[in-house]
């Protein structure tokens, strides 16, 4: 008999004799995890993850060697007739979890970089910086837009959470991440790049989006990508919301915003402008018109009123009303002196706008100290630079007093001091009795906070059912984005009150996912695991040895117009990085996150087996420096788990992996990875590394939970016909690998096949047809180029006969193309003068 019959997880399996349990399971389509497995060889330091439980093992003549009796490594145990094998029993799972915990204890590195982890938008920050470093600006923007469809605006106004956690701070200064984002967006705009963002097939579902600001545009963008038919209803005559009517032109230029909005609309989104919810339509109307769900992203456009006597003065504006008037280009009579009451970001923009209107004095009044202002400190500094004055520890009392000849308004003020700390330690400002004084001004802007709605929503029955919080925001479940009305979702400032643009984007993206699940009835994709190896959660935890050999290189300074010029008009203040500055800045990135992220088997198994490395331990300090000496391969022994797959998968015996010692758990000490002289740089070891210990130097962009296409094709080099797998994201080939099961090369490749594909996207590629004019080759249209060539051949044929023309085909072109060229020569021209370079 040549076969054995056994059971795996109670299913009968018939297999050839003399196969290991691992092989039998693999052929039966049953997955058994393994970190150290290489076909045909065994590690000296087995990972023991492939353990299986064999009931009644003694009767098969087996002896337990592992701690738990009955568990055996599937890679080294031969399947026998009548065996009952369990691959997922509790004992098996416990053993795997224990082994993974042990293996993880010496693994040291960051899965994701701190910038990625800190970004509320979970944007692959390290990834787009790396694309910039490689000059792949288009792909950088596409990567950003996978999660943020308004990079032009965010690149100008983001509070930059990421930069606060950039590890480069421990060396010198953080990478100017946000300037890089703006750079790629602007670069793509000025180069008129079509990003070719893909769309799913039409779902037949219609979604209404109320509000065309950052939240509404984001929700519309993602819902459209998912294949839904989206209509945006916007109360204003133009889209953009806070980006258009809140941020002044010097922060977000209108032409940039128009481009950004158009690039989203290009996806195929319907819009209804000047349609105010509650007046022009109601939620019920949307239902009646056949919308399957509604997203509310109306922002927080209602200002808290200035609650002091005589505030209804014509020269007193709320910040939103004022900024809207400015952004609509209306001329306001603002006089010579103005105050802005409030210390939030909107107050800063109002004050800076007033400076630009040519006022002599603009003063911000705030009842606390500057550091306590809710505005971003960067915005406060910018306002200060432009001449805005700050009257701190003061509060307005009234504006009822009689003005004098020189000004229109007498603003009564009182100075404040901080009271005793309350239970939470917060010190409320208290008026100092008798400290009253007056300020003579012409114009007052109040910026005291924003709401989505004052009171209840109006319009109809459904509107009245929408829950509103006491702060005047729309209540929605943060997880499901659902409001109190079925099928109505919400996100952004309307729900949270004023926050940053990126936070509105995140909320709207999440809402889009929820709406998609709701209208399609599919379950939402599981949230990405928060599992993360880290070199240190806080700066204090990070060992300085990590930065050995990194030299100080200060961040590039953003070119900007000097304040005395920039305050003369509303043109943009910050001019943006040049390409050279962007490349230099991108090269400052320390690439903390692991570029093996998407292929790391250790991480995947730790997650699958729910290993809590924060408890069981991970590497804390770098024991080894990264090695750059190999031309194509980067070695980081800190991540090595001593599985020996590199050494055992090398077909040339050109790699040596050594550990000075191994402790009783299998932790390696004193690791060495040596490429011998006979290494041909084929890169197979990298493709076989289960962690990021071996990396391709050129692969500096980490791929994180993003769609990657893996396409099998044929290597363009020698005649061996090796099958290669191109890993493609968007329009960029990220990496080349090979399938170990595919003929003719069975996973083997040479250095050309695995590495030499940079020519594809090289900037020297020919991009336009050319025709020689006046002795010089000049770019032209396809039409003209074809015309010139066709006419030329036609005339020669008429004059000298068909044999006066010859064609050279190409041994690198496809069969189809070779076939067609010979057909062309034999039919269109009428000659057998057709040849190729086979013999060259």
Pick out residues in 759-788 that bind other proteins (CB under 8 A). 759-762, 764-772, 777, 782, 785-788
Contact between 651 and other proteins (CB under 8 A)?
A: yes
Residue 15 Cβ vs other proteins, minimum distance, rounded to whole Å: 24
Q: Residue 822, interface with other proteins (CB under 8 A)? A: yes
Q: Binding-site residue total for other proteins (CB under 8 A)?
A: 109
Q: Is 424 in the site for other proteins (CB under 8 A)?
A: no
Distance CA 246, CA 327 (A): 8
Residue 810 as a binder of other proteins (CB under 8 A): the answer is yes
816 binds other proteins (CB under 8 A): yes
Report in angstroms how near the CB of residue 653 gets to other proteins at its nearest.
10
Given 432, 575, 621, 811, the residue binding other proteins (CB under 8 A): 811
By CB under 8 A, residue 7 contacts other proteins: no
Q: Per rule CB under 8 A, is residue 711 in the interface with other proteins?
A: yes
Q: How many C-beta neighbours within 10 Å does residue 266 have?
A: 12
Cβ proximity to other proteins: between 305 and 801 the closer is 801
Query: Which of 398, 541, 571, 803 lies at the binding interface for other proteins (CB under 8 A)?
Result: 803
Residue 195 sits in the site that holds other proteins (CB under 8 A): no
What is the Cα–Cα distance from 527 to 705, expressed in whole angstroms?
10
Binding mask 677-696 for other proteins (x = CB under 8 A): ---xxx--------------
Q: Which is nearer to other proteins, 612 or 714 (CB)?
A: 714
Q: CA-CA distances (angstroms) from residue 801 to 614, 791, 808?
A: 81, 14, 18
Select from 324, 336, 350 the least CA-distant residue to 448.
Answer: 350
- Nearest by Cα to 294 from 462, 148, 460: 462
C-alpha distance from residue 825 to each of 219, 289, 807 (Å): 55, 61, 7
CB closer to other proteins, 663 vs 758: 758
Nearer to other proteins, 456 or 709 (CB): 709
Nearer to other proteins, 359 or 715 (CB): 715
Tell which positions 266-325 bind other proteins, by CB under 8 A: none
Sign for the CA dihedral angle at 657, 659, 664, 666 comes to negative
Q: How far apart are the C-alpha atoms of 638 and 618, rounded to whole Å?
A: 11
User: Measured from the CB atom, is 17 or 812 closer to other proteins?
Assistant: 812
825 vs 830: CA distance, rounded Å: 6
**Does residue number 369 form part of the binding site for other proteins (CB under 8 A)?**
no
Say how many C-beta atoms besides its own lie within 10 A of residue 414's C-beta.
18
CB 717 → other proteins: shortest distance, Å?
Answer: 5
User: Interaction with other proteins in 28-47: which residues (CB under 8 A)?
Assistant: none
Question: What is the rounded CA–CA span in Å between residue 87 and residue 63?
Answer: 18
Kindly state whether residue 587 participates in binding other proteins, applying the rule CB under 8 A: no
Residue 795 region by backbone torsions, left for phi larger than 0, else alpha for psi between -120 and 50, else beta: alpha
Q: Give buried/exposed letters for 438-447 (b at 16+ CB in 10 A, else e).
A: ebebbbbbbb
Q: Which is nearer to other proteins, 201 or 767 (CB)?
A: 767
Does 626 participate in binding other proteins (rule CB under 8 A)? no
Measured distance CA(231)–CA(272) in Å, rounded: 7
Residue closer to other proteins by CB (options 370, 752) is 752
Shortest Å, Cβ 263 to other proteins: 18
Residue 796 contacts other proteins per CB under 8 A: yes
Closer residue to other proteins (CB): 243 or 686? 686
- Which parts of 60-119 interact with other proteins (CB under 8 A)? none
Alpha helices in 621-731 (DSSP H): 645-649, 684-688
Strand partners, 38: 41
Q: Does 197 bind other proteins (CB under 8 A)?
A: no
- Out of 389, 419, 792, 798, which residue is the one contacting other proteins (CB under 8 A)? 792
The residues, any chain, with a CB within 8 Å of residue 210's CB and separated by 6 or more, are: 216, 232, 233, 277, 294, 295, 296, 297, 298
CB of 735 to other proteins, least distance (A): 12
Per-residue tokens: 815:
């069969």
Does 531 help bind other proteins (rule: CB under 8 A)? no
Part in contact with other proteins (CB under 8 A); list of ranges 12-20, 181-189, 498-506, 800-808: 800-808
Cβ(547)–Cβ(170) below 8 Å: yes
420 binds other proteins (CB under 8 A): no
Return the range that interacts with other proteins (CB under 8 A); candidates 204-212, 216-224, 513-521, 832-840: 832-840
- Specify the residue, 29 or 237, whose C-beta has the smaller distance to other proteins: 29
Task: Give the span between the Cα atoms of 203 and 228, in whole angstroms.
Answer: 5
Report cis status (omega within 30 of 0) of the bond before 176.
no
Q: Which of residues 127-186 bind other proteins (CB under 8 A)?
A: none
Helix (H, G, I), strand (E, B) or coil at 422: coil
Q: Does 757 bind other proteins (CB under 8 A)?
A: yes
């Amino acid at each position: 008999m040549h076969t054995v019959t056994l059971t795996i997880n109670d299913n009968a399996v018939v297999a050839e004799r003399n196969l290991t349990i691992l092989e039998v399971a693999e052929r039966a389509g049953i997955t058994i995890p393994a970190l150290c497995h290489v076909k045909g060889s065994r590690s000296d330091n087995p990972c023991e993850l492939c353990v299986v439980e064999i009931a009644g093992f003694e009767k098969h003549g087996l002896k337990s060697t592992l701690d738990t009796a009955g568990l055996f490594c599937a890679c080294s145990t031969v399947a026998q007739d009548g065996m009952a094998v369990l691959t997922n029993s509790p004992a098996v799972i416990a053993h795997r979890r224990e082994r993974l915990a042990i293996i993880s204890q010496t693994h040291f590195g960051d899965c994701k970089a701190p910038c990625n982890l800190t970004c509320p938008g979970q944007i692959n920050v390290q990834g787009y910086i790396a694309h910039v470093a490689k000059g792949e600006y288009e792909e950088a923007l596409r990567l950003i837009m996978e999660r943020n469809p308004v990079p032009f605006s965010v690149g100008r106004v983001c509070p930059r959470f990421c930069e606060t956690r950039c590890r480069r701070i421990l060396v010198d200064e953080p990478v100017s991440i946000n300037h890089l984002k703006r750079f790629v967006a602007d670069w793509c705009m000025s180069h008129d790049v079509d990003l070719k963002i893909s769309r799913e097939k039409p779902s037949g579902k219609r979604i209404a989006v109320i509000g065309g600001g950052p939240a509404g545009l984001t929700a519309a963008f993602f819902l459209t990508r998912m294949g839904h038919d989206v209509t945006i209803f916007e109360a204003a005559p133009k889209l953009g919301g806070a980006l258009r009517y809140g941020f002044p032109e010097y922060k977000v230029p209108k032409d940039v915003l128009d481009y950004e909005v158009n690039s989203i609309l290009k996806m195929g989104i319907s819009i209804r402008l000047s349609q105010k919810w509650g007046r022009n339509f109601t939620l019920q109307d949307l239902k009646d018109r056949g919308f399957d769900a509604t997203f509310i992203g109306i922002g927080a456009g209602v200002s808290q009123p200035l609650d002091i006597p005589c505030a209804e003065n014509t020269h007193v504006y709320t910040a939103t009303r004022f900024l809207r008037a400015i952004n609509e280009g209306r001329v306001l009579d603002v006089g010579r002196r103005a105050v802005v009451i409030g210390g939030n970001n909107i107050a800063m923009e109002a004050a800076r706008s007033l400076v630009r209107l040519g006022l002599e004095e603009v003063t911000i009044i705030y009842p606390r100290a500057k550091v306590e202002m809710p505005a971003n400190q960067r915005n406060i500094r910018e306002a200060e630079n432009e001449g805005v004055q700050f009257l701190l520890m003061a509060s307005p009392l009234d504006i009822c007093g009689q003005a004098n000849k020189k000004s229109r308004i007498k603003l009564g003020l009182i100075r404040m001091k901080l009271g005793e700390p309350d239970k939470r330690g917060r010190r409320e400002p208290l008026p100092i009795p008798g400290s009253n004084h007056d300020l003579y001004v012409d114009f007052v802007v109040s910026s005291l906070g924003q709401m989505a709605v004052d009171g209840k929503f109006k319009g109809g029955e459904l509107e009245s059912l929408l829950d509103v919080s006491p702060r005047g925001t729309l209540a929605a479940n943060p997880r499901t984005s659902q409001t109190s009305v079925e099928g109505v979702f919400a996100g952004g400032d309307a729900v949270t009150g004023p926050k940053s643009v990126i936070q509105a984007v995140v909320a709207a993206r999440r809402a889009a996912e929820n709406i998609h699940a709701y209208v399609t009835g599919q379950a939402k994709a599981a949230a990405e695991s928060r599992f993360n190896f880290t070199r240190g959660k806080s700066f204090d935890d990070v060992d300085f040895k990590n930065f050995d050999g990194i030299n100080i290189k200060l961040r590039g300074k953003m070119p900007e117009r000097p304040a005395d010029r920039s305050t003369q008009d509303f043109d943009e203040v910050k001019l943006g990085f040049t390409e050279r500055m962007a490349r230099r800045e991108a090269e400052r990135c320390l690439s903390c996150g692991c570029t093996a992220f998407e292929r790391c088997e250790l991480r995947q198994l730790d997650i699958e087996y729910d290993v809590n490395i924060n408890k069981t331990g991970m590497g804390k300090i770098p024991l080894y420096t990264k090695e750059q000496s190999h031309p194509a391969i980067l070695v980081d022994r800190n991540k090595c788990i001593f599985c020996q797959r590199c050494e055992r998968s090398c077909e040339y015996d050109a790699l040596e992996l050594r550990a000075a010692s191994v402790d009783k758990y299998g932790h390696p000490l004193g690791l060495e990875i040596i490429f011998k002289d006979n290494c041909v740089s084929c890169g197979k070891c990298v493709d076989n590394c289960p962690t990021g210990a071996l990396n391709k130097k050129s692969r500096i962009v980490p791929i994180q939970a993003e769609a990657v296409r893996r396409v099998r094709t044929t290597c363009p080099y020698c005649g061996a016909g090796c099958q290669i797998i191109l890993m493609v994201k968007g329009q960029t080939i990220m990496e080349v690998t090979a399938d170990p099961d595919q003929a003719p090369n069975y996973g083997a490749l040479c250095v050309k096949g695995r590495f030499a594909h940079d020519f594809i996207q090289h900037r020297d590629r020919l991009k336009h047809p050319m025709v020689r004019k006046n002795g010089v080759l000049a770019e032209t249209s396809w039409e003209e180029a074809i015309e010139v060539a066709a006419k030329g051949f036609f005339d020669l044929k008429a004059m000298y006969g068909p044999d006066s023309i010859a064609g050279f085909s190409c041994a690198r072109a496809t069969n189809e193309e070779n076939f067609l060229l010979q057909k062309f020569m034999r039919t269109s021209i009428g000659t057998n003068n057709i040849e190729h370079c086979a013999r060259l």
